[in-house]
Structure 1
Amino acid sequence: MTDRDLDTFRAEVRRWCEENVPRDWRAKEAGAAPEDVVVLQREWRAALEPGGYFASHWPAELGGADRPLAEQVVIAQELARADAPRLALYQVAVYNAAPAILHHGTEEQRRRFIPGIRSGDVWCQGFSEPGAGSDLAGLSTRAERRGDVYVVNGQKVWTSWAMHADWCILLARTDPSAPKRHGISFLLMDMTSPGVEVRPIKQATGAAEFCELFLTDVEVPVANLLGPEHQGWHVSQSTLASERGVTLLELVERLHRNGIRALLDAAAGWRGEDGGPVLEDPAVRERLGGLYGEVQILRGLCARMIESMEGRGGGAEASIAKVCYSELLQRLMHTAVELRGLPAQVSRPLLMSAGWESGDWLTDFVGSWSWTIAGGTNEIQRNIIGERHLGLPREPRAAGEPR
């Protein structure tokens, strides 16, 4: 695709955004009940789908737009530029479940599940457990095969939007005697199955989109096994990789437009404790200028990440970008709260579709800490960067501990 073709496509997407992005979504969502937020998310998904902006990366034969990576990037950039609501409700469905099914599923599984995702099925991710978060391979949820079903027992945690989910991508141990990375299977679980209990967890932000799952003798058909039995670790790693890439690029663009630029605009009207404009302080200007520069560097890093995805599938660049984004997000929001002072302590309704740069600086700061944990903790990401990108020795393990 030539630069001219891409410019033409960008103009097309920008026109679409001008005509279709709801300008009042922030006002509608502020203080809305969780059920009403779900309705708004479903309406936005329905608006994106006809133009090929909902599942732009899917193959055409499965109902997707089959757009090349360069066009996917343009869509992410323009949606961020237009301050479109994020499709948080469908994040797992589109960028985790669908890629896993497309890459590892049978033809029957593709025909069965992909149309439902396209038409609005909500998926959640049952990976982390109370004793197996960063060390995901140490999970203890069991799936015992009995005839044509697996009987699942265990507990999952930090399962986003589980209370609204139709399906769950689930990791469970099917061979307890195997080394921990080799005895796990990847299952597609119907959330309406008997024995599935969902308990929302209220967070410091006031939101409760994270949940615990309690699974008691839940039957999952063997036909819902994704990939080979006991090889779910391999499937899960490709699924986790899809959390980053274009989705991370969109978050970085939002951090640029609704984060640092919004902070600079807002700070121009703020006054410090002495009553003078905060921007008259050279130290404040230097601090904000440094943050602005860091955001631009991160945007450049994301561009390199996209180039690596086109050439050889990503590698450690996504881990580097994730660490940089999450820690820069925290520093930026901490600066905003500090500069705003007491008015920043006023509680405002959380905007679930705004990401982590809603303009409510204190809530965004508190919420920013989840990003150093979500998608693989930054400590784990640093291991990946060191071992896979820098070629450092693997992290030492206790004697007898399986790899």
Structure 2
Amino acid sequence: MRYDLPGEPTVEVDAFRAEVRRWCEEHVPSGWRQAQTGVTDKEFVRFQQEWFQELRRAGYAVPHWPGEWGGEMPVDRQIVLYQELAAHDAPRLVLAFVGVHHAAATLLAAGNDEQRRRHLPAILDGEIWCQGFSEPDAGSDLASLRTSARRERDGYVVNGQKVWASGAMHADRCLLLARTDPEAPKRRGISYFLMDMRSPGVEVRPIRQATGESHFCEIFLNDVAVPAADLVGPENGGWQVAQQTLGAERGMTMLELAERLGNAGFGRLLDTCARPGPGGRRAMDDSRVRDRLALLETEVTGLRALCRDLVESAGSGTAGPADASIVKLYYSELLQRMTDFGAEVAGLAAHTELRKPMSSGWESGAWVLDFVGSWEWTIPGGSSEIQRTIIGERGLGLPREPRGT
């Protein structure tokens, strides 16, 4: 089932849609959901990298990157691309996500030419990245981080701990924040590094989650040497650089996720509601269920329109300071509402479904696992409370919250 965003497509966009549709019919792996359920880590990584290269050969892997690096796809075509990938139930680029979005946004905005030449082609070749921001005592209050980077000769020596690093067990590189000036005010003594995960002293420990997966990890850093060439921006200027990373996490990445939620996710919810249950009765036969579906469809349409507006305004330089936070907040809480409703209408049988495809998103149709997993989206990139503060202060111009003494 397909749900296209209303608009006035041009002849060129219609032709591009037909091109992407043909490509998806020929290249989206058939039976990938079954093949990616219960696989080993090695099989998962291989599948992800092969799928990324398949998209790269077609010119679909990094449509939002500048043209010199293989992107510069017009916004209307990016929307069509993600609509068709979602409608054809294509696998998600789970392992490439941080590299393609967060690392690339950081390198393009704040990296130097040498760093871009070294890492952007590597990302295209399959280099996997993770993000080392949060710590046990520095989650939403990220500026309180304690991981230290001490300057020594031609580099830095890093000690500390990071947590909630998605996919770190597979990563080649890490976007790392560390404190280089312990005497400076919290946000002014932080630096930003591109750390090699194979460096001596780096230890990764996966964290088992309630869904049974171990996507999140802890990273322990013991006298890890980081070359000065891997410092992004000025020393002690890492907080400003990190805003480029967080901006990508809250904003541009939402376009794909919104299309997946609106196409594949809502389509699976309709299928669940139309499936006969005990006695042959369908959830869809209940008027309250139909009302709820209508409300969710309206919300999904609003989310997709917000995402399109954000991408267009970001491209023209007219995005507001809180626009990305609005989209991130709306997506994460709508995802919760939709997966919660899916778990409700699917009934007790959904609670026995204990596995989901490794390369799927948060709208796989394994509704209980999707719902439990949806909660993570209200935390990374700034919790929902942080997003509301940003919207209030930067978007609406409300007074800043008083600081505690």
- When normalised by structure 2's length, the TM-score is 0.94
* Pairwise CA distance, 1:291: 1.6
Retained in 1: the 8 A contact 2:166–2:215? yes
Q: Please name the residue that 1:130 is paired with.
A: 136
2:161 alignment counterpart: 155
Residues in 2 aligned to 1:8 and 1:317: alpha-carbon distance in whole angstroms: 31
Q: What amino acid maps onto 2:331 in structure 1?
A: Y
The match for 1:324 among 326, 330, 341 is 330
Match of 1:310 in 2: 315
In the alignment, is the contact (CA less than 8 A) between 2:207 and 2:216 conserved in 1? Answer: yes
Whether the 8 Å CA contact 2:75–2:312 is kept in 1: the answer is no
Distance 1:372 1:288 in 2: 22
1:344 aligns with 2:350: yes
Q: Following TM superposition, by how much is the alpha carbon of 1:376 offset from its aligned partner in structure 2, in angstroms?
A: 1.5
- For 1:60 and 1:309, locate their aligned partners in 2 and report how far apart those are by CA, in whole Å: 17
Aligned residues: 396
Task: Provide the C-alpha distance between the structure 1 equivalents of 2:288 and 2:61, rounded to a whole number of angstroms.
Answer: 43
| Larger mean Cα displacement after TM superposition, 331-340 or 364-373 | 331-340
Moved over 4 A (4+): none
Pairing of 1:206-355 with structure 2 (within 5 A): 206-271=212-277, 276-312=281-317, 314=319, 315-355=321-361
Distance verdict in 2 for CA 1:59–1:310, change over 3 Å:
closer
The residue that corresponds to 1:101 in the other structure is: 107
8 A contact 2:96–2:128 mirrored in 1: yes
Distance in structure 1 (CA, Å) of the matches to 2:263 and 2:100: 24
User: 1:298 & 1:115 partners in 2: Cα distance?
Assistant: 33
Please identify, of 82-91 and 283-292, the stretch whose mean Cα deviation from structure 2 is larger: 283-292
**TM-score, length-normalised on structure 1?**
0.94
Q: Tell whether 2:195 aligns with 1:201.
A: no
- Please state how far the C-alpha of 1:392 moved relative to its aligned partner: 0.7
Secondary structure of the structure 2 residue equivalent to 1:88: coil
| Letter of the structure 1 residue corresponding to residue 393 of structure 2 | E
Measure how far apart 1:269 and its partner are. 1.8
Shift of 1:275: 6.3
Alignment partner of 1:389 is 2:395? yes
Post-superposition offset of 1:93: 0.7
Shift of 1:226: 0.6
Paired letter, 1:232: G
Please state if 1:119 is matched with 2:125: yes
Task: Give the superposition deviation at 1:313.
Answer: 5.4
**CA deviation digits over 1:250-304, x for unaligned, max 9?**
11111112222221122112336x7633222222221222222221222222222
TM superposition shift of 1:110: 1.6
Question: Which residue of 1 is the match for residue 6 of structure 2?
Answer: none
What do the CA deviations read for 1:13-72 (whole angstroms, capped 9, x no partner)? Answer: 2222222111221111011112211111011011011121112233343x3233233333
Instruction: Tell me how far 1:244 sits from its aligned partner.
Output: 3.6
Contact 1:298/1:325, CA 8 A, preserved across alignment? yes
- Structure 2 residues not aligned, in runs of 5+: 1-8
For 2:171, the equivalent position in structure 1 comes to: 165
Counterparts of 1:136 and 1:227, CA distance in 2: 19
Q: CA deviation at 1:336?
A: 1.5
Deviates more, 1:183-192 or 1:254-263: 254-263
Letter of the structure 2 residue corresponding to residue 54 of structure 1: A
3-state SS of the aligned residue for 2:309?
helix
Q: Is 1:369 aligned to 2:389, yes or no? A: no
Show the counterpart of 1:379: 385
Higher relative contact order (CA 8 A, sep 6+): 2
User: How many percent identity over aligned positions?
Assistant: 57
SS at match of 2:187: coil
Task: Give distance in 2, aligned partners of 1:104 and 1:30.
Answer: 39
Query: SS state of the match for residue 23, structure 2?
Result: helix
CA pair 313-13 structure 1, distance change in 2 beyond 3 A: farther
What's the counterpart of residue 46 of structure 2?
A: 39
Match of 1:180 among 175, 182, 186: 186
Residue 29 (str. 1) matches residue 36 (str. 2): yes
CA distance in 2 between counterparts of 1:336 and 1:317 reads 28
C-alpha distance in structure 1 between counterparts of 2:153 and 2:252, whole Å = 41
CA distance in 1, matches of 2:77, 2:169: 33
Match of 1:50 among 40, 57, 60: 57
Distance 1:290 1:66 in 2: 35
User: d(CA) in 1 for partners of 2:65 and 2:326?
Assistant: 26
Gaps of 5+ in 1: none
Question: Residue 70 of structure 2 corresponds to which residue in structure 1?
Answer: 64
Distance in 1 (alpha carbons) for counterparts of 2:159 and 2:306: 42
Q: 2:252 and 2:28 mapped to 1: Cα distance?
A: 20
- Describe the superposition over 1:101-121 as per-residue Cα deviations: whole angstroms up to 9, x where unpaired: 122122211222222111011
CA-to-aligned-CA distance 1:72-103 (integer Å, 9 cap, x gap): 33322221122111101011111011221122
Query: Is 1:201–1:209's contact at 8 Å kept on the other side of the alignment?
Result: yes
